Structure 1
């Protein structure tokens, strides 16, 4: 049996909070590469230990000058929902490095706090005392995605709490949007535990790292540079430089915020060096031309106040995170086994890290997803739909907060169409739909997809919370979108669905399922509000369509991809909501027939999405595995995912779109680090609903 904590991961989360603060290791060993942003661009951290006069690396590559600093031997790497733990050994000393990100989704105040704790613990393991010191730094490329941006730096203090900060000289918050965009506004903060003896400095990476590697200490000043002091402002970094062989060479101007601690003589008793990293974005999002501050600072809290509070609560939060991890991993394992637990562990921080939380002027929560590695769309409905199981389990208020911007936009007078929008902008600017035809044309819209999604999610939210206020607030929209589906009918015209990479498809049988369940979901909403006649009318339409659907889609041993395509087939993942909502529209034998077909069609790395290509979507695959409610069926479809996790050739945050025969991502760049992986929690959601 594989321990889901220590099993291979395509990429390992280190510090993951939102689409801008999202740092990963893309190699099995932490000393084989620099940590990077989810986009693959360096957001470097260097970690070193000095043991009995000799320098070693435990994080990052060699020093800037290329000085030979050997790597400690990595002996373990464990990943849990909220923590990542590495262990290293060298010269009789064990070093444990722990990243803790206490983003509890049940507690939005903590979830939205952009703070991660980093603990370095050392102990002798050979029975002898050793002189040990430790070092860690953060590059300015955490705060300036663009090379050669001028930066400024300094210190903040609140009582015994002290933090180094660095940010761009010219602050232009929210001045651009895009997909693979790193932040270049706001300020990076690093700090060590109050009352802990430690040294800190800001300056040239080569000088600081070489100093520690040679002496175990760093200069006690904030303008460190060999030859002459570092001026203020200065270039943060100069970006990548490749030689003729394509090998990465680092240029001299590369500045860091560094901390070190001399432990003195270390024996078998562990000694700790505790740090944290935080980020103040100043402004987080623009919401219909209104700039909104990060959730944690919405009431005027300061960055040093954030750091001060984080230190005051550290012990309780780290203990809570450890207990939370143990319980959630146990739940995932009981629900779906070790492979499912592996997926859930990796999906947890990634799902949260693909969103950003703010509060509107009236205090209502607004929670925005980002289509990472797709097009950068913000608040996309067909990201909210697959990710919904995660939030229905952990905090339904966050699902409502994702739906609210779409509803406010559709009710605000600008959206001209009778169906639901696709998005509300491109991250971090929520100023109106950018996908397809936007507000101007119906070109490349997703009418069936998004209308069905919103109706299904509205019914699921009301069912979970037993609260109708959100439904009542936007009732005209549910009426309008249900009317669109009813008038459009059971047989979709030639349009896109969420799997838009596959192109337009008329008569899409799986999209038809979404419309049927969506109309039924509207019937449930009517029933909740006492609209009895309207409820029965729409439930009757849904039942009638459900009776007709098998005849339209039947292809003998399975149901077709499209009603008019004999010999085709597809995953019918939308069918799962019939069971979740308790509609009972479709007989069980439909799911059983599909499941038998799926088992015959699996490849080494999973079940293809449909008969057109050998690729799959991880979120939909897990939904499909749940269709019959039979554990053996789920186990059969989830088993190949273990092969993919073990073999995936691209070392990127969990991809949700990959080739089922090669394991490779699809296309150039591929899908990675997308919040849709929250959909993999659907099995746990179903099991919890059973009690």
Structure 2
């Protein structure tokens, strides 16, 4: 998790669019010599009055269409922002033109985005916003009719083909609020901003109406494979589609297309073929539906938005060769339009599956608390939205669905591929939803290092410096976190094996695992001056938390060797500095793996201590700063669950207070690094490490 890159771009409106026995006493000494931290109780930031209700709370940003690193649309909130009070934004904060109107008895209302330059429309009035693990729902009043707008980004952990589809739904339905009959038409469009990070580049597009579907497909005229501009991929196509029944369509300049609907309640079924720069008269791609005259709740008008490309990942294999890998779903479809059509026709079933998934998550997490259930619900789409499931091709060009690798973008901190210390905090999400996803994340790292191309004796930090290029580090000059990453790989590998009884990873890669363990044995006793996953805090010698990770990692190898029928290995450790303190979140791995290496007295002392340094937004990461990490706090809550439910809940409440702190400084998809005195984000946004918020569920 390397260097800080604070992606705090402002969202602007646009007018036109081991056994370790002898070491335990050292831990006791460390805990008993902790110094007091003078941390004042911080008040929860006041929430500005909003005219609508929020359930379970107003997050910093509401997920709208979040399915991949490149399909990631959010509604920034600050102190509370209605669906028609801001443009939807990419995770970086840049605008994604996405607009919506509804006409009721000939009168037009805006329900989505900030479309300007159009006459004859007024804003619908938002009544409520709510979110679950897969859905965000807004209800707005458009005169005598209430409009329900539901954004569904399916989470399909057990179906790799469906989970790999980079598409999302928006469903819009209407119901009279006065008991009378009303004529209702619904419209939405996207702009060409969805295909690039540089709006001066030229886009082209096509519109088709076939097989019961209206489909707009938009792409850059000149594409650059595997390359990004401002974190947008410069490759592939954006798609916007809906059913053809009762639908009209139009492409063209934003104000022209939108004015057509506002004035007439339908579109002209025409196409603008003047291909041009994205910012040149802002081309948009609209679809309108006539819901007819309604006397009660209508069936929804269902729209699909997406961004797909092929190939998806550039991946280094043995001998330095480079392989192009495809998203899994391409194995089932001959074209992007066929994939979109299948996704569109699957809406009712997808909604049912999503509701079942949401209910299970809510039920499981609510066993801890309602605050915890809300935090988990907000985190799941963000964790999954940083990943892509891929497959390779056979020599004959057919897809090899037995070769499944998942890739994760280290969103916002520096864009690395499969960063080990970003996978590790997200690990509970995969253990809870489907451990096979975790295996698919680890396999690229194992395959690469087993090929002999990485020269260091410890685990590599990541699979590539710039997503989606998983090209390794044959020079060995990846960011050096030797103890951190080696311990992470051992812990994750064993936890996967324990959850699934699948021995394939430890059987295939035993020599690599042993190599990393030998490094830990030499390095974990007294950790050298090095950085940990929290690299923004700087390097430090003798880090207790790193030593804990090393010890647990060594003990993990003992269990791995036992499972393989080999001799168990162990190692002692000690510590240097007992005048500082920090969140010992790496003890979570001891609980996760069921070792109980550390005596209960250690957890009891920690539970007591953390209460003395708690603020309303949680506990600082360590002595040096007032900031903290949300993922590590929930790890700590989980490891203390059997010690003190009160302290567990204290940590959950702190993170919940931060995630629900409605102030204008926080408008990003959850930033996991924040200040405990102010509740304001320090940096990072939309990172998959929020999968760590599922730490209690993974236990």
Shorter chain as denominator, the TM-score bin is 0.7 to 0.9
Determine the structure 2 residue equivalent to 1:77: 129
Does the 8 Å CA contact 2:137/2:151 hold for their aligned counterparts? yes
CA RMSD of aligned residues (A): 1.8
Alignment of 1:221 with 2:270, yes or no, is yes
Does the 8 Å CA contact 1:420/1:481 hold for their aligned counterparts? yes
Once the two structures are superposed, residues 488-527 of structure 1 have per-residue CA deviations (whole angstroms, 9 ceiling, x without a partner) of 2411000111000011100000000000000000000000
Cα distance in 2 between the residues matched to 1:219 and 1:158: 17
Once the two structures are superposed, residues 203-251 of structure 1 have per-residue CA deviations (whole angstroms, 9 ceiling, x without a partner) of 111101122223322222012xxxxxx52x222225xxxxxxxxxxxxx
Cα distance in 2 between the residues matched to 1:257 and 1:611: 53
Aligned ranges 1:160-559 → 2 under 5 Å: 160-174=212-226, 176-177=227-228, 180-194=230-244, 196-223=245-272, 230-231=273-274, 233-238=275-280, 253-288=281-316, 289-298=322-331, 301-334=334-367, 336-361=368-393, 363-425=402-464, 426-433=466-473, 439-441=475-477, 444-531=479-566, 534-535=567-568, 538-539=569-570, 541=571, 544-545=572-573, 549=574, 552=575
Does the 8 Å CA contact 2:382/2:688 hold for their aligned counterparts? yes
Tell me how far 1:68 sits from its aligned partner: 6.6
Q: 1:656 aligns with which of 667, 672, 679?
A: 672
Cα distance in 1 between the residues matched to 2:656 and 2:552: 32
Aligned length: 627
Q: Which runs of 5+ in 1 are unaligned?
A: 224-229, 239-252, 553-562, 687-691
Once the two structures are superposed, residues 173-197 of structure 1 have per-residue CA deviations (whole angstroms, 9 ceiling, x without a partner) of 21x257x411222111222125x21
Determine the structure 2 residue equivalent to 1:679: 692
| Alpha carbons of structure 1 residues 37 and 441: separation in structure 2 relative to 1, 3 Å | closer
Determine the structure 2 residue equivalent to 1:564: 577
Cα distance in 1 between the residues matched to 2:88 and 2:463: 32
Tell me how far 1:320 sits from its aligned partner: 1.6
Tell me how far 1:102 sits from its aligned partner: 1.8
Does the 8 Å CA contact 1:45/1:137 hold for their aligned counterparts? yes
Cα distance in 2 between the residues matched to 1:90 and 1:405: 51
Does the 8 Å CA contact 2:333/2:339 hold for their aligned counterparts? no
Does the 8 Å CA contact 1:201/1:220 hold for their aligned counterparts? yes
Cα distance in 2 between the residues matched to 1:626 and 1:328: 17
Cα distance in 1 between the residues matched to 2:592 and 2:660: 32
Does the 8 Å CA contact 2:228/2:234 hold for their aligned counterparts? no
Does the 8 Å CA contact 1:103/1:113 hold for their aligned counterparts? no
Q: 1:35 aligns with which of 73, 83, 88?
A: 88
Tell me how far 1:647 sits from its aligned partner: 1.8
Cα distance in 1 between the residues matched to 2:430 and 2:477: 33
3-state DSSP of counterpart to 1:274: strand
Cα distance in 1 between the residues matched to 2:284 and 2:463: 37
Once the two structures are superposed, residues 666-691 of structure 1 have per-residue CA deviations (whole angstroms, 9 ceiling, x without a partner) of 1xxx11100010011011122xxxxx
Tell me how far 1:121 sits from its aligned partner: 0.4
Does the 8 Å CA contact 1:124/1:268 hold for their aligned counterparts? yes
| Alpha carbons of structure 1 residues 177 and 48: separation in structure 2 relative to 1, 3 Å | closer
The structure with higher relative contact order (CA 8 Å, sep 6+) is 2
Segment drifting more, 214-223 vs 571-580: 214-223
Cα distance in 2 between the residues matched to 1:160 and 1:269: 23
Cα distance in 2 between the residues matched to 1:102 and 1:603: 36
Determine the structure 1 residue equivalent to 2:69: 19
Cα distance in 1 between the residues matched to 2:621 and 2:191: 41
Cα distance in 2 between the residues matched to 1:310 and 1:66: 32
Segment drifting more, 83-92 vs 643-652: 643-652
Alignment of 1:152 with 2:164, yes or no, is no
Tell me how far 1:323 sits from its aligned partner: 2.1
Cα distance in 2 between the residues matched to 1:309 and 1:185: 22
| Alpha carbons of structure 1 residues 214 and 608: separation in structure 2 relative to 1, 3 Å | same
Cα distance in 2 between the residues matched to 1:584 and 1:263: 61
3-state DSSP of counterpart to 1:626: helix
